[in-house]
């Protein structure tokens, strides 16, 4: 195994295990097992520029699903009850320490991935049929809802309407009070634009994020995708 593979293996195993096991008073696997149930198919989008690490990450997620969630993996999507989609956004190496000759002797691997899952069911089929209908007939929905005439359709609108039509008891996760989060959407925070980074003052510190001088202690949904680049850049400065 190459040095890069060893580093990625160690980092990825620790990061994913921590994110699934480390939050809440109950182990998060308790909730994950309820959601990722039945037969599971893992779909990884292979990065043509870095296929080796994409395959490595798929192998490690497979191990995680089996060892931590007791998942029943299948090799065909048509056989699955739950489909997990994994996209490798980026893989990079950062130098942390040099020897006396100036050569790198310690690295840190930064792996950025997106993970989503989809559970097959009659409710899911009905839900996404409504979502599609909302997108295709937004002008009619907008007139009924008496929205701002300039309001554009969004997944927030479509998903909320689908939940309301089907019933929140069928479309929302069971009540979970053991973990909160910080959401940076425009209307949640009553700010003038969707891009909160242009309105609020933020600081990326080695051990926390501060927004308008307030430290953030909960999972932080920054939602503005370009903010992830700033987080990665801050790692370089803080090492």
Written as one string, the DSSP assignment of 133-202 is HHHHTHHHHHHHHT--TTPPP-HHHHHHHHHHHH-HHHHSPPP--S---EE--HHHHT-SSS-GGGTS-E
My answer on whether 111 and 131 are in the same domain is no
Give the pLDDT confidence score for residue 148 in this predicted structure: 81
My answer on whether 20 and 84 are in the same domain is yes
My answer on whether 167 and 198 are in the same domain is no
Q: What is the average pLDDT across 6-12? A: 37
Q: Is residue 176 part of a domain?
A: no
My answer on whether 8 and 63 are in the same domain is yes
The answer to which of 8-17, 80-89, 106-115, 127-136 has the lowest mean pLDDT is: 8-17
Q: What is the average pLDDT across 149-169? A: 87
My answer on whether 91 and 28 are in the same domain is yes
Give the pLDDT confidence score for residue 101 in this predicted structure: 83
In sequence order, the β-bridge partners of residue 43 are 85
The torsion region of residue 120 among left (phi > 0), alpha (psi -120 to 50) and beta comes to beta
My answer on whether 132 and 98 are in the same domain is no
Please, what sign has the CA dihedral across residues 185, 17, 62, 50?
Answer: positive
Q: Is residue 85 part of a domain?
A: yes
Q: What is the pLDDT of residues 42-90, one digit of tens each?
A: 887 766 666 676 677 777 777 777 777 777 888 888 888 888 887 777 7
My answer on whether 43 and 115 are in the same domain is yes
User: Token pair for residue 234?
Assistant: 């801050």
- Please determine, for residue 136, whether its predicted confidence score (pLDDT) is greater than 70: yes
Domain that holds residue 80: 3-120
My answer on whether 221 and 206 are in the same domain is yes
Instruction: For residue 196, name the pLDDT band (cuts at 50, 70, 90).
Output: very high
Number of domains composing the chain: 3
- Please determine, for residue 16, whether its predicted confidence score (pLDDT) is greater than 50: no
Give the pLDDT confidence score for residue 225 in this predicted structure: 84
My answer on whether 15 and 115 are in the same domain is yes
Q: Is residue 177 part of a domain?
A: no
My answer on whether 138 and 109 are in the same domain is no
Q: Is residue 188 part of a domain?
A: yes
Residue 83: alpha-carbon gap to chain centroid: 15
Give the pLDDT confidence score for residue 18 in this predicted structure: 38
Q: Is residue 167 part of a domain?
A: yes
Predicted structure pTM score? 0.48
My answer on whether 82 and 139 are in the same domain is no
Which has more pLDDT, 167 or 4?
Answer: 167
Q: What is the pLDDT of residues 198-230, one digit of tens each?
A: 889 999 888 889 999 999 888 888 888 888 888
The torsion region of residue 199 among left (phi > 0), alpha (psi -120 to 50) and beta comes to alpha
- Please determine, for residue 179, whether its predicted confidence score (pLDDT) is greater than 50: yes
DSSP 137: T
CB 82 within 8 A of CB 118: yes
My answer on whether 130 and 154 are in the same domain is yes
Pairing of strands 220-221, 182-183: parallel
């Amino acid at each position: 195994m190459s040095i890069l593979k060893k580093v990625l293996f160690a980092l990825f195993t620790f990061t994913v295990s921590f994110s699934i096991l480390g939050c809440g008073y109950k182990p998060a696997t308790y909730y994950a097992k309820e959601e990722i149930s039945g037969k599971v198919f893992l779909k990884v989008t292979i990065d043509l520029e870095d296929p080796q690490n994409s395959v490595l990450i798929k192998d490690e997620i497979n191990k995680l699903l089996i060892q931590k969630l007791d998942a029943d993996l299948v090799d065909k999507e048509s056989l699955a009850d739950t489909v997990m989609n994994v996209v490798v956004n980026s893989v990079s190496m950062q130098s942390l320490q040099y020897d006396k000759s100036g050569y790198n002797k310690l690295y840190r691997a930064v792996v950025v991935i997106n993970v989503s899952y989809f559970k097959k069911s009659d409710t899911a089929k009905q839900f996404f049929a409504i979502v599609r209908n909302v997108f295709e007939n937004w002008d009619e929905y907008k007139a009924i809802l008496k929205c701002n005439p300039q309001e554009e359709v969004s997944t927030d609108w479509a998903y909320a309407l689908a939940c309301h039509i089907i019933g929140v008891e069928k479309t929302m996760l069971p009540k979970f009070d053991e973990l909160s989060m910080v959401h940076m959407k425009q209307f949640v925070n009553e700010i003038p634009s969707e891009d909160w980074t242009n309105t609020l003052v933020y600081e990326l510190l080695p051990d926390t994020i501060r927004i308008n001088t307030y430290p953030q202690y909960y999972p932080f949904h920054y939602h503005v995708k370009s903010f992830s680049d700033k987080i990665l850049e801050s790692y370089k400065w803080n090492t």
